[in-house]
């Protein structure tokens, strides 16, 4: 399998070149966020308060990393199910977020927001948290430290493995795979 190397923050031209099913290795800076952090960001937006982190042109990874062992940036850091953030994702994409990393299918509103904003949804492989953690070189808590592992972290990553699950044209790897397996 051939992987595409992508430096972050991701450029619009690179997003336009990606297709559902592409295997990628991401390197650069990403942010983390799960349910509780997304709820707080949503409340900030609803109350017209400033965000504690600038997510414009950035990528959020849906993860709550385990505590780090000595010599490591984080412990196991596998993706969480993305559907739990579907309520918040269109708003964040409309505010300038360029990508998401998670696992699993997304609802139609998220797919439409990805297309509308020329963004991308990457899927990380569930169950591979220990392997993924090796690509995380640095972790800093940015905000919401009271949430523990669900705080928003800034990760510096190198060769983070993922697949393009939904490209900026709306092609959906999960839907495509269903079609293939229906024929078998």
Query: What is the structure's pLDDT at 1?
Result: 79
pTM equals 0.94
CA atoms within 13 A of residue 166's CA, in its CB half-sphere: 27
How, if at all, do strands 3-7 and 23-32 pair? Answer: parallel
Task: Look up residue 10 and give its two tokens.
Answer: 């991701």
How far is 23 from 75, CA to CA, in rounded Å? 24
Which sequence spans correspond to the domains of the chain? 3-182
3-182 topology per CATH:
fumarase (3.20.130)
pLDDT along the chain (184 residues), means of 10: 94 97 98 97 95 96 93 94 97 97 97 98 91 96 95 97 98 83 59
CB of 144 closer than 8 Å to CB of 21:
no
Query: What is the structure's pLDDT at 179?
Result: 67
CA atoms within 13 A of residue 170's CA, in its CB half-sphere: 9
User: Alpha helix locations (H) across the chain?
Assistant: 12-17, 35-46, 89-94, 108-116, 129-133, 173-182
Give Cβ neighbours of residue 12 (< 8 Å, ≥ 6 apart): 98, 118
Task: Look up residue 144 and give its two tokens.
Answer: 């919401």
Digit-coded pLDDT (tens) for 17-61: 999 999 999 999 999 999 999 999 999 999 999 999 999 999 999
CB of 10 closer than 8 Å to CB of 164:
no
Q: What are phi and psi of 26, to 5 degrees?
A: -95, 135
């Amino acid at each position: 399998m051939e992987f595409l190397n992508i430096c972050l923050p991701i450029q619009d031209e690179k997003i336009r070149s990606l297709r559902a099913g592409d295997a990628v290795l991401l390197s650069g800076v990403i942010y983390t966020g799960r349910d509780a952090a997304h709820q707080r960001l949503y409340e900030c937006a609803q109350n017209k308060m400033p965000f504690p982190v600038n997510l414009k042109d950035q990528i959020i990874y849906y993860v709550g990393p385990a505590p780090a062992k000595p010599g490591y940036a984080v412990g196991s850091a596998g993706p969480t199910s993305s559907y739990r953030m579907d309520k918040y994702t269109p708003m964040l994409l409309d505010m300038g977020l360029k990508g998401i990393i998670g696992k699993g299918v997304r609802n139609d509103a998220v797919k439409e927001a990805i297309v509308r904003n020329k963004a991308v949804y990457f899927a990380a492989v569930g169950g591979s948290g220990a392997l993924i953690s090796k690509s995380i070189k640095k972790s800093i808590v940015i905000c919401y430290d009271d949430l523990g592992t669900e705080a928003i972290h800034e990760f510096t990553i190198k060769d983070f493995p993922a697949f393009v699950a939904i490209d900026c044209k709306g092609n959906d790897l999960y839907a495509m795979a269903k079609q293939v397996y229906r024929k078998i």
